[in-house]
Structure 1
């Protein structure tokens, strides 16, 4: 064999070797999210591990605080240094980015994985815009779960879970008499709004809830029924402690975990904190979704969006992220740590806790599902309503004035 043939064979062998190396190079993905508490960090690690095992390289970019994380993502997208993926809520928060052409779609993944036939319609309505899928949903959260300390309930002489708003108020009174904080509330505007929405959905009922948030019906807002909702919401203020204002949600959860407080109204992500503290649902703490056994189930959650890029390697990384995050195994592993329920109804949830199993069962009853307000309102309107609710909660404002302020904000 002459020298030219030997050189040629060497080049071919080198190229082949390089091809193998290039294919083995992991798909690097810079992911912005706001999951920084103990339970949240354990949950997001499930996605990171699954992505790495699938041939990727997860580059974690955790930013404390949802608003701060979203701002960081948007600033990087607009500034020309976009992450591979960024977390948003299942809402209209990212729809402006779609309108501005700043997101890639993941239609290929959605078609291959049959998202249209698997995911709940309320979720599809949020992530599918003008016929294209622009986000990968990763969980279903219900923001109005009630978590309580079983030992504290027993100490207060509360035998069972309340079956109505009035029974809940009576139980808060028993907790107060027992010398514990009855209602552990993180006094931040978004948490106060969650509490208000729980009261609106249950005391007001699904019809009033949808008339207010979906239809923006002024007659509904000005009704006696809505006035009752406001009064019922403010009544809860008698059962929070002086340390509530400004408290983080997970610090409020810690009060229940430690037995210093009786109950917390919070999204099911709070279960991650109980899990991190080695407490088990049904044994150390209890959970119920609303003020009664047939309460509406508010559907919320989180998604990851994929900033616009023409780089084929980055697009591959985005598609791999969307595939891994929504896969059955990763969904179950994530939900077990996060406290959510899987976005897919076709997974085996037998390993999940009793709260998650109850949530999965409820989601099969479409009549109990209500979209969270962020699915129905623009971020600006939602923000204006949060301001109204927190002002009413924290100041000596009359119900009538709060009702007028709510109507005004809803018109904006």
Structure 2
């Protein structure tokens, strides 16, 4: 009952705030909003419901259009926009994925909402760089995810005799050996290309370091890829292959999380959206499972996330619905309610985070240290190049390819720009 009262109070606060801004729809004319997203797992569905309920309470009518799979959802949104049957809003990652739509004049801007809500002063710079183009705001950010958290089963590490979280990559590999010796799956990996790329980037950021990472992804420095340091990153990444189980290929990310939840596997490297699955299984961070964002107190924190974009429309009600959605989704109370279910941290720092778990609180604290903030690759490179580099990594992971050949392939893909 207490949690229900808290959520009801949060929704009331959202509605009150929106009424002060004067954009709540009339009760007799709800602003219908068709929203495309890819949040279909248990934890994800519970999270998006927070936005839907808040939007409905604020005078809207949320029409849910969930499409399984991020690539499929984005393709559906783009096809509908181009085909003249655009949704009211569509999910993309905090990246350059939607910038082609901006360039083609296919999105409404959110300048009025951004000005009223003071987005420039509230949101982190890396997020602003993604959602702004030519001085205009074209997306509403809804979360900050860190895609390379290490989640582990407390029961599994206890069984393996592991006493503390690893402080270096070598200590991490030693822990994986202990988990393997205990008869457990050391590393729960969903063998899909995007998951393999996330795992690679986690190793890259920690083993290669921030400078090398930025030289490759931000500066597209081919000589950096040809360096001994980058070769060491590839070698370190491929060493993890010895710790995954035969059922890994094709496995969904949430099924990999389920292996950690059940204690069959020790560790999963995944974005903090995985916490939604732990929450749905009634597991508590710090008690049933642990989390650490990297090795040591100065490990980089790879900023990622999700946004909603709003397709071009001249219809006044559609524009009002889009502005109401953007305001609801980024409001403090809805941000906390969403983050608690999704596993992310709020997009804004001016929220009461006391109800969030220890992993989220650690993430919020780290985000205050700008020196640890590291843009995820998709914030730095276009989608076609991300796809080409992902192909290189998944081929290296799944085939009997030498480190030298993988290094050459990565350099070639980077040089060609995708």
TM-score, shorter chain, exceeding 0.5: yes
> Which residue, out of 213, 225, 228, partners 2:229?
225
Give the Cα separation in 2 of the matches to 1:388 and 1:170.
Answer: 27
Matches within 5 A, 1:320-399: 320-399=324-403
* Alignment of 1:136 onto 2:144: no
Give the Cα separation in 2 of the matches to 1:203 and 1:224.
Answer: 12
Give the Cα separation in 2 of the matches to 1:405 and 1:361.
Answer: 38
> Which residue, out of 248, 254, 258, partners 2:252?
248
* Alignment of 1:33 onto 2:10: no
Residue 313 (structure 1) aligns with: 317
Give the Cα separation in 2 of the matches to 1:323 and 1:204.
Answer: 39
Question: CA-to-partner distance for each residue in 1:158-192, whole Å, 9 max, x for gaps?
Answer: 00100010000000000000000000000000000
The answer to whether the Cα contact below 8 Å between 2:92 and 2:308 also exists between their aligned partners in 1 is yes
Matches within 5 A, 1:265-344: 265-344=269-348
CA RMSD of aligned residues (A): 0.8
Unaligned ranges ≥5, structure 1: 1-20
TM-score, normalised by the number of residues in structure 1: 0.94
| SS class of match (1:24) | coil
Q: Which runs of 4+ in 1 moved over 4 A?
A: none
Q: CA deviation at 1:292?
A: 2.8
The answer to whether the Cα contact below 8 Å between 1:187 and 1:248 also exists between their aligned partners in 2 is yes
Residue 101 (structure 2) aligns with: 97
Q: CA deviation at 1:293?
A: 2.8
Residue 6 (structure 1) aligns with: none
* Alignment of 1:116 onto 2:120: yes
TM-score, normalised by the number of residues in structure 2: 0.93
Q: CA deviation at 1:219?
A: 1.2
> Which residue, out of 404, 407, 410, partners 2:408?
404
Give the Cα separation in 1 of the matches to 2:283 and 2:29.
Answer: 41
Unaligned ranges ≥5, structure 2: 1-24
Give the Cα separation in 1 of the matches to 2:344 and 2:380.
Answer: 21
Give the Cα separation in 1 of the matches to 2:299 and 2:202.
Answer: 9
Q: CA deviation at 1:242?
A: 0.4
* Alignment of 1:186 onto 2:190: yes
Question: CA-to-partner distance for each residue in 1:221-260, whole Å, 9 max, x for gaps?
Answer: 0000000000000000000000000000000000000011
Give the Cα separation in 1 of the matches to 2:26 and 2:276.
Answer: 39
The answer to whether the Cα contact below 8 Å between 1:165 and 1:292 also exists between their aligned partners in 2 is no
